[in-house]
Amino acid sequence: MTLKQVLDQARQIFTTNRIEDASLEGEILLRHALKIDRAGLYSELDRELGADQKDVFWNLVQRRVSGEPTAYITGRREFYGLDFYIDHRVLIPRPETELLVEKALELAQTRTMVAVADIGTGCGAIAISLARHLPRLKIYASDVSADALEVARINCQKHGVVDRIQLRHGDMLEPLPEPIDLIMANLPYVTGEEISRAALADFEPLIALNGGADGLDKIKRLCEQATDKLSHNGGMLLEIGLGQSRPVVSLIYRHFPSASVEVIPDLQGIERVVSLCLTPN
């Protein structure tokens, strides 16, 4: 079979199994199996695939059909224009989380920031994206999972920001040694019911998904800790799930009654990020 025939067959299999972007999924897996880039693939579509290469590729296809995300199969995920190493120790970064980075970069243009913290950093995508765009910032990245911090360390080395990001192991803000000017957090916000219904934890780490009965357990604890860790004119950016904006805004006002709060929708119109800004007395 030629590469083109293999791609066509993989597309049909993925379409039958209701996998979105079937053509792209097949292309990514074939490029991974052959260790070639996109230009190399499309310049050799008439080339015959060797027997060993076929075995490798169809094994990858079977893993994808079984539900394993492509990012775990290939060990890669793009986020905010950067290529990150990914494995089963961390949650796969989602495109909507890029909104946190975009908003942080906007705030950096209008507010004085010295120390920023990425809470629940996972693979380090948020912290590293900020470090690449704002090299003068002091950035902390914390996670309760030591395994996740190992992945973040790999990505810090990959992107040359080891000296600009301090990785801290512990519960959210507790391991941070100083007041923080901007707290960023994509914490677990999926409810236990949603996890069981969608079998989300079959491949991704449960600790990075489970937000408790209402999905807000971790966000509640972060807001409690932030009262002692957020600088007097600091800010906070929280990613939230569908339908969570109203309770999260109420929660923020309970701890920061004088804060300025904004709810920001993602590209699909879903209220995705809650922004809090304090004003000095």
Alpha helices in 111-215 (DSSP H): 125-133, 146-158, 192-198
- Burial of 71 (C-beta count, 10 Å sphere; 0-12/13-18/19+): buried
Q: Is the per-residue pLDDT at 199 higher than 70?
A: no
Q: Quick one: pLDDT at residue 139?
A: 97
Per-residue pLDDT of 225-272, as tens digits, reads 999 999 999 999 999 998 999 999 999 999 999 999 999 999 999 999
Q: What band does 175 get if pLDDT is binned at 50, 70 and 90?
A: very high
Mean residue pLDDT across the chain: 93
Closest CA to 221 of 194, 185, 190: 185
Q: What band does 196 get if pLDDT is binned at 50, 70 and 90?
A: low
DSSP secondary structure letters along 227-239: HHHEEEEEEEEEE
Q: Quick one: pLDDT at residue 191?
A: 79
Q: Quick one: pLDDT at residue 206?
A: 77
Q: Is the per-residue pLDDT at 70 higher than 70?
A: yes
The residue type at 12:
Q
Return the top range by mean pLDDT from 50-54, 200-204, 210-214. Answer: 50-54
Q: Please, which residues have CB within 8 angstroms of residue 130's CB and are 6 or more apart in sequence?
A: 101, 104, 105, 116, 118, 137, 139, 184
Instruction: Compute the half-sphere exposure of residue 2: CA atoms within 13 Å on the CB side of its CA.
Output: 10
Per-residue pLDDT of 121-131, as tens digits, reads 999 999 999 99
Per-residue pLDDT of 5-30, as tens digits, reads 999 999 999 999 999 999 999 999 99
Q: Quick one: pLDDT at residue 189?
A: 83
Q: Name which of 51-65, 145-159, 191-205, 212-226 the model is least confident about.
A: 191-205
